[in-house]
Every structure is written in C-alpha cells, then in structure tokens.
Amino acid sequence: MLRLLPILMSAVITAAAASSAHAVALDPLTGQPYHIGEDVQPRANPIKREVVAFAGKYAPGTIVVSTAERRMYLVMEDGKALRYGVGVGRPGFEWGGSLNVTQKREWPDWRPPAEMLQRRPDLPRYMKGGPENPLGARALYLGSTLYRIHGSNEPETIGQAVSSGCIRMMNEDVVDLYERVKIGARVVVLR
C-alpha cells in the first residue's frame, strides 16, 4: 500500500488541477496570480533588487535609469542606491532625459497610443487593469509623455531592450518602487 501512495497522490493532484483549469493561484516566488493549468511554473525575478554603492551627483529620491546597463537606481543617502533590473526601449525607441513622476496608479488600465496601434493593429483598444494587463501592478507616469515606469508579468523581458520606450520592471519591484517614490520625483534616463 505504501508503494501505491505516491501514485495515488499524483492522480489526486492531476485530477484537482484538471478540474480547476480556470482557478487562480498565487505564484509562491512573486506573489503574483496565475491561472492553474496555463502557467504552473513559478516566475522568478531574473535580476534581484539590491542595495549597492552609488557614486553620482543625484539627490536622494532620484530615479536614475541606465539603459546601457538595463538597471534602475533609486538614489538613497550615504552613497547608496537601490538597484532594480529593468527592460528598456528597443532599437528605434530609445530615449534619454530628465522628467518627473506626475501620476501614480495601482493596476492601471491600458489604452495603447495611436502610434502603437498603427504598428500593431491587433492590439486591444482598451484593457482593464489586472494581472494580464501589460502595465502590470503599478505605473508611474513620466511628465506629459506617453512613457511610464510600469510593471510586467513577463520576467524574460527584464534586462532586455524590448519596449516601445517605457521602463519595465517585475511586478514585485514596481510595487516596491511605487511605495518609495513620491509624485514629483525626478527621473533621469541615461542613454
């Protein structure tokens, strides 16, 4: 009987998963929801956030994005910064400069801009905020531009040049940044 126990347990787990194909569970590594039966592999962050030494002339609270490194630094006191992995604009969509955070949104809705819809007419015209939304768990809007620092549930894009100019972060990282940054914070994007 003891030899049959692993086989019986496997059958019970398989049956439970099949009967709950539309159920939602939380990823144990990220805390993000996923649909059971569609994506049962935990999504680990490819680039861990960490406090690092930072030698720069930026005031604490400034966000510095190094597109070459594909890293973001939230400047702290005493020559330190909190470093995050990010996805940046792909070739032809790179940009640089200094802007300020003008808005912050939790689980933002997404309306692709007209320029994006011209390139990708297959995109929806509107998507309500939530786990499937490309803007992820949080968004920080930059100036009066179309650019944002936002979440992503696609860990494979972090550390890559893949976006249409926005700065992508893992959802757990953008939630952390969102809690630390105030509206008006300076964002410097270095090319």
Instruction: Compute the distance between CA of residue 132 and CA of residue 144 in angstroms, rounded to an integer.
Output: 25
Phi, psi for 141 (deg, rounded to 5): -90, 140
- 166 annotated active-site: yes
Q: Is 180 a catalytic residue?
A: no
What amino acid occupies position 133?
N
Residue with tokens 């297959």: 122
Strand duo 33-35 + 50-53: pairing: unpaired
**Among 99, 139, 149, 166, the one annotated catalytic:** 166
Choosing from 49, 83, 150, 168, the catalytic residue is 150
Residues 32, 54: Cα–Cα separation, whole Å:
30
Could you list the active site residues? Answer: 150, 166
